[in-house]
């Protein structure tokens, strides 16, 4: 049964669920059996977009998450055919030279490794996990084009790029008559709106779909004061963040409570209201958390709701340069 909605991935013709199952926790905080159950539950709910990365799995176990997804797809039942499979490369995958980055050497090596672990013959969305300032774009796009021509990759995307990185990448791709980047994964949520300055305007101008990660700000937007879903308040990093924005969190949770809506649902609904957002990457660690996040798709935010949320969590002041120039 389908519970989610779908959208185009940027300017591409590919349709993806507006919630994307992020898998960073699989194999690290979630064991294999429960990972399979979570993947099945997501698919049953209509989530057809699965995001992973070659480095996921934890320190000393890089690649484990891809292996789990590969074994899940190998169970059959049309799992591979039903999903848009996205993975990423860039991070350190070994101790030898050239085991990281975006050199043509590593792109080919990383792709073959991901295909092997995922037990598939192609990657639907191959994303650069970070910009590689040491490798020229001519080399990167030549390597990516070879993967596309060989049928091993269909679309390419970026993650954690600055706006000027995105523009430069697209300019160099167009020089080679390539589609270039169709999506950008960025840190974006009510509590962190920095990309509104330049990344979002660049994506909108170039037809690049935005895939926000950490939509609940590591639990800050998930009802952290009331012990809500997805909360990781025990971590030192989250506690430091909470101390910095406690008043805003209090006001936010009060707003959600007064309107009868769960904090995590409001946080997701706020992101999904932005037309540049193709899909929001969620990282549930249980089926209950997954179901709670899916419920967020039923929440509608009106103009007065947006005004209140923007007053609690003000962004950088709009787009550059107006946000800081006058």
Q: Do residues 150 and 92 make contact, with C-beta atoms less than 8 angstroms apart?
A: no
Percent of the chain surpassing pLDDT 90:
91
Helix (H, G, I), strand (E, B) or coil at 16: strand
Cα distances (angstroms) measured from residue 289 to each of 5, 114, 222, 229, 237: 18, 28, 10, 6, 21
Mean pLDDT in residue range 15-35: 97
Helix (H, G, I), strand (E, B) or coil at 186: strand
Q: Identify the pLDDT of residue 156.
A: 98
Mean pLDDT for the chain?
Answer: 95
284: preceding bond cis by omega (within 30 degrees): no
Q: Do residues 289 and 224 make contact, with C-beta atoms less than 8 angstroms apart?
A: no
Given the residues 56, 90, 126, 188, the one annotated as active site: 56
For the CA atoms of 46, 52, 57, 62, the dihedral, rounded to the nearest 10 degrees, stands at 150
Mean pLDDT in residue range 177-203: 98
What phi-psi label fits residue 209: left (phi over 0), alpha (psi between -120 and 50 degrees) or beta? Answer: beta
Parallel/antiparallel/unpaired status of strands 15-17 and 6-8:
antiparallel
Q: What is the pTM of this model?
A: 0.96
Q: Identify the pLDDT of residue 196.
A: 98
Q: Is 188 a catalytic residue?
A: no
Q: Identify the pLDDT of residue 288.
A: 94
Instruction: Write the pLDDT tens digit of every residue in 207-253.
Output: 999 999 999 999 999 999 987 555 555 678 888 999 999 999 999 99
Instruction: Write the pLDDT tens digit of every residue in 134-159.
Output: 999 999 999 999 999 999 999 999 99
Mean pLDDT in residue range 44-68: 96
Q: Can you list the domains of the chain with their CATH numbers?
A: 6-218+263-301 (3.20.20.100)
Read off the pLDDT band of 66 (50, 70, 90): very high
């Amino acid at each position: 049964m389908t519970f989610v909605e779908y959208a185009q991935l940027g300017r591409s013709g590919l349709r993806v669920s507006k919630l994307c199952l992020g898998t960073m926790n699989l194999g690290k905080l979630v064991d294999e059996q429960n990972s399979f159950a979570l993947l099945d539950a997501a698919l049953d709910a209509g989530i057809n977009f699965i995001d992973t990365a070659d480095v996921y799995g934890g320190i000393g176990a890089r690649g484990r998450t891809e292996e789990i997804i590969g074994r899940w797809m190998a169970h059959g039942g049309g799992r591979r055919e039903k999903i848009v499979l996205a993975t990423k490369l860039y991070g350190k995958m070994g101790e030898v030279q050239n085991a990281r980055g975006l050199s043509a050497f590593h792109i080919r090596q990383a792709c073959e490794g991901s295909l092997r672990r995922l037990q598939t013959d192609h990657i639907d969305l191959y994303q650069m996990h970070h910009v590689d300032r040491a490798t020229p774009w001519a080399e990167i796009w030549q390597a990516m084009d070879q993967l596309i021509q060989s049928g091993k990759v269909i679309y390419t995307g970026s993650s954690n790029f600055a706006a000027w990185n995105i523009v430069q990448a697209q300019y160099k791709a167009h020089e080679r008559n390539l589609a270039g980047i169709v999506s950008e994964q960025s840190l974006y949520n009510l509590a962190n709106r920095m990309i509104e300055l330049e990344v979002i305007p660049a994506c909108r101008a170039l037809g690049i779909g935005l895939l926000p990660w950490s939509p609940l700000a590591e639990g800050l937007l998930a009802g952290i004061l009331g012990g809500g879903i997805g909360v990781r308040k025990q971590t030192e990093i989250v506690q430091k963040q909470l101390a910095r924005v406690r008043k805003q969190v209090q006001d936010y949770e009060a707003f959600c409570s007064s309107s009868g809506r769960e904090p995590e649902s409001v946080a997701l609904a706020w992101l999904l209201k932005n037309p540049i957002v193709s899909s929001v990457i969620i990282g549930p660690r249980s089926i209950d958390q997954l179901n709670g996040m899916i419920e967020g798709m039923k929440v509608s935010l009106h103009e007065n709701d947006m005004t209140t949320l923007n007053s609690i969590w003000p962004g950088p002041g709009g787009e550059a340069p107006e946000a800081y120039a006058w």
